[in-house]
């Protein structure tokens, strides 16, 4: 089934509003719980060093923002998670309360295309499986770089296509033919969210172009770390001091 990737803000927000209540369950089932590992790898790769806050954009139900909390606490920093879907933010706030993390983490409704923060505020700015959905990748990333402080890190976790032929076949089969139906069954919605997922990943920038874009936006030492055979890639870059 070919899905037209329509990234208009209204459609994307409505799609995530609809799947929000079942989003976490779908994530853990569809990724065989690997999503937790991918976020853990992201948090480990980001070195928190001072008291400037950490920002996680397109935070959804807040899992990556919450994964930063124990590390942020060690350096006396706080974490902010933002998303333009109020239903996702409500779930993230509830999760923070359940984890007794409400004092360290704050969740706000905000569009990644226009972040409501002063430039150079955060010591690290992250996004997991979100930047692919933003209507303009360049503008979303540019905003992340803008609010990142001098010497700070920008981390982007995103799906990608594995390099090995065999893994490509296995992953491609699962991603194109199994996941959309399983996902739709778990998180019923009118927007074919789990058909949109593989289509949007196929149309996302290849690794080299993504690294080039991060470089062009002013980040240094940009690297792409393939995880789980390249099914997911963690992009890292640092803003010059």
Task: Count the alpha carbons within 13 Å of 93 in the hemisphere toward its beta carbon.
Answer: 12
Task: CB nearer to ligand SAM: give 84 or 107.
Answer: 84
> Which range in 52-60, 90-98, 167-175, 177-185 contacts ligand SAM by CB under 6 A?
52-60
Tell me how far CA of residue 61 lies from CA of 111, 201, 221, in angstroms. 15, 21, 30
Task: Count the alpha carbons within 13 Å of 222 in the hemisphere toward its beta carbon.
Answer: 19
Indicate whether 59 belongs to the interface with ligand SAM (CB under 6 A).
yes
Indicate whether 129 belongs to the interface with ligand SAM (CB under 6 A).
yes
Indicate whether 130 belongs to the interface with ligand SAM (CB under 6 A).
yes
x/- mask, ligand SAM, residues 212-231, rule CB under 6 A, reads: --------------------
Rounded Cα distance, 53 and 117, in Å: 11
228: left (phi over 0), alpha (psi -120 to 50) or beta: left
Among 42, 104, 112, 123, binds ligand SAM (CB under 6 A): 112
Task: CB nearer to ligand SAM: give 83 or 237.
Answer: 83
Indicate whether 89 belongs to the interface with ligand SAM (CB under 6 A).
no
Q: Least distance to ligand SAM from the beta carbon of 135, Å?
A: 6
Helix (H, G, I), strand (E, B) or coil at 40: helix
Burial of 85 (0-12, 13-18, 19+ CB in 10 A): buried
Rounded to a whole number of angstroms, the CA Rg of the chain reads 17
Indicate whether 19 belongs to the interface with ligand SAM (CB under 6 A).
no
Comparing CA positions, the residue from 223, 231, 157, 164 lying closest to residue 198 is: 231
Indicate whether 63 belongs to the interface with ligand SAM (CB under 6 A).
yes
Indicate whether 160 belongs to the interface with ligand SAM (CB under 6 A).
no
Q: Least distance to ligand SAM from the beta carbon of 12, Å?
A: 5
Q: Least distance to ligand SAM from the beta carbon of 240, Å?
A: 26
- Starting at the earlier edge strand, list the strands of the sheet with 122-128: 105-109, 79-83, 54-57, 122-128, 148-159, 232-238, 220-227
Binding positions for ligand SAM, rule: CB under 6 A: 12-13, 16, 27, 58-60, 63-64, 83-85, 88, 111-113, 128-130, 133-134
């Amino acid at each position: 089934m070919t899905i037209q990737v329509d990234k208009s803000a209204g459609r994307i927000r409505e799609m995530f509003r609809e799947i929000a209540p079942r989003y976490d369950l779908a994530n853990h089932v569809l990724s065989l719980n690997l999503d937790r590992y991918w976020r853990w790898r992201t948090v480990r790769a980001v070195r928190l060093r001072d008291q400037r806050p950490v920002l996680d954009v397109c935070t959804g139900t807040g899992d990556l923002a919450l994964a930063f909390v124990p590390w942020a606490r060690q350096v006396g920093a706080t974490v902010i998670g933002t998303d333009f879907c109020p239903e996702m933010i409500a779930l993230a706030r509830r999760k923070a309360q359940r984890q007794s993390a409400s004092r360290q983490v704050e969740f706000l409704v905000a569009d990644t295309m226009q972040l409501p923060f002063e430039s150079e505020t955060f010591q690290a700015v992250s996004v997991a499986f979100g930047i692919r959905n933003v209507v303009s990748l360049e503008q979303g990333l540019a905003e992340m770089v803008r609010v990142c402080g001098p010497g700070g890190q920008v981390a982007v976790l995103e799906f990608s296509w594995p390099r090995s032929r065999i893994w490509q076949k296995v992953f491609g089969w699962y991603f194109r033919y199994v996941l959309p139906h399983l996902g739709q069954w778990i998180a019923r919605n009118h927007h074919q969210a789990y058909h949109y997922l593989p289509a949007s990943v196929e149309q996302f920038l290849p690794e080299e172009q993504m690294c080039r874009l991060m470089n062009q936006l002013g980040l240094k030492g940009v690297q792409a770390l393939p995880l789980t055979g390249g099914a997911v890639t963690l992009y890292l870059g640092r803003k010059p001091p």
